[in-house]
Amino acid sequence: MDAETVDAVVIGMGPGGEDVAGRLAEAGLSVVGIEAELVGGECPYWACIPSKMMIRAAGLLAEARRIPGMAGASTVTPDWAPVAERIRAEATDTWDDTAAVDRFVGKGGRFVRGRGTLVAPDRVEVGDQAFVARRAVVLATGTAPSIPPVEGLADTPYWTNRGAIRATEVPARLIVMGGGPVGAELAQVFARFGSAVTVVEAADHLLALDEPEAGAVVADAFRADGIDVITGVGATQVTHADGGFTVALADGRTIESDELLVATGRRADPAGLGAGVVGVADDARWVPVDEQLRVADGVWAVGDLTGKGAFTHVAMYQSAIATADILGQDHEPADYAALPRVTFTDPEVGAVGRTEADARDAGIDVAVGVAQVSATIRGWIHKADDEGIIKLVADRSEGVLVGATSMGPSGGEVLGLLTLAVHARVPITVLRTMIYAYPTFHRGVEEALRDLDL
Ligand X SMILES: Cc1cc2nc3c(=O)[nH]c(=O)nc-3n(C[C@H](O)[C@H](O)[C@H](O)COP(=O)(O)OP(=O)(O)OC[C@H]3O[C@@H](n4cnc5c(N)ncnc54)[C@H](O)[C@@H]3O)c2cc1C
Using the rule CB under 6 A, which residue among 8, 9, 15, 257 binds ligand X? 15
Using the rule CB under 6 A, which residue among 191, 315, 322, 402 binds ligand X? 315
Cα gap 47→42, rounded to integer Å: 6
The answer to whether residue 65 forms part of the interface with ligand X (CB under 6 A) is no
Residues in 366-425 that interact with ligand X by CB under 6 A: none
CA distance readout (Å), 101 to 35, 128, 170, 363, 393: 10, 21, 32, 48, 44
Least Å distance, CB 87 to ligand X, is: 12
Contacts of 188 (CB under 8 A, 6+ apart): 55, 58, 197, 221, 222, 225, 227, 345, 346
Least Å distance, CB 145 to ligand X, is: 7
Which is closer to ligand X, CB of 42 or CB of 395? 42
The answer to whether residue 299 forms part of the interface with ligand X (CB under 6 A) is no
Q: Give the largest CA-CA distance in the chain.
A: 73
Using the rule CB under 6 A, which residue among 36, 271, 362, 430 binds ligand X? 36
Least Å distance, CB 426 to ligand X, is: 24
- The region of 30-38, 100-108, 359-367, 422-430 touching ligand X under the rule CB under 6 A is 30-38
Cα gap 164→149, rounded to integer Å: 21
Cα gap 31→133, rounded to integer Å: 9
Least Å distance, CB 118 to ligand X, is: 9
Residues in 245-284 that interact with ligand X by CB under 6 A: 273
Which is closer to ligand X, CB of 32 or CB of 182? 182
SS3 196: strand
The answer to whether residue 115 forms part of the interface with ligand X (CB under 6 A) is yes
Contact 309, 353 (CB under 8 A): no
Least Å distance, CB 6 to ligand X, is: 16
The answer to whether residue 37 forms part of the interface with ligand X (CB under 6 A) is yes
Contacts of 245 (CB under 8 A, 6+ apart): 156, 158, 175, 238, 239, 256, 257, 258, 259, 260
Cα gap 176→228, rounded to integer Å: 10
Which is closer to ligand X, CB of 271 or CB of 357? 271
Cα gap 194→199, rounded to integer Å: 15
The answer to whether residue 143 forms part of the interface with ligand X (CB under 6 A) is yes
Which is closer to ligand X, CB of 91 or CB of 305? 305
Using the rule CB under 6 A, which residue among 6, 12, 158, 408 binds ligand X? 12
CA distance readout (Å), 19 to 303, 320, 400: 11, 8, 33
- The region of 11-19, 101-109, 222-230, 237-245 touching ligand X under the rule CB under 6 A is 11-19
The answer to whether residue 307 forms part of the interface with ligand X (CB under 6 A) is no
The answer to whether residue 161 forms part of the interface with ligand X (CB under 6 A) is yes
- The region of 33-41, 72-80, 284-292, 359-367 touching ligand X under the rule CB under 6 A is 33-41
The answer to whether residue 41 forms part of the interface with ligand X (CB under 6 A) is yes
Cα gap 428→433, rounded to integer Å: 9
Using the rule CB under 6 A, which residue among 8, 11, 199, 247 binds ligand X? 11
Residues in 181-200 that interact with ligand X by CB under 6 A: 182
The answer to whether residue 210 forms part of the interface with ligand X (CB under 6 A) is no
Contact 368, 452 (CB under 8 A): yes
The answer to whether residue 92 forms part of the interface with ligand X (CB under 6 A) is no
Least Å distance, CB 452 to ligand X, is: 29
The answer to whether residue 17 forms part of the interface with ligand X (CB under 6 A) is yes
**Beta strands 294-296 and 299-301: pairing type?**
antiparallel
- The region of 138-146, 210-218, 373-381, 445-453 touching ligand X under the rule CB under 6 A is 138-146
CA distance readout (Å), 108 to 36, 103, 112, 124: 20, 9, 13, 20
SS3 54: helix
* Residue 2 DSSP label: -
Overall residue count recorded for the chain in this entry = 454
Contacts with ligand X, residue ranges (CB under 6 A):
11-12, 14-17, 34-38, 41-43, 47-48, 51-52, 115-116, 140-143, 161, 182, 273, 303-305, 310-313, 315
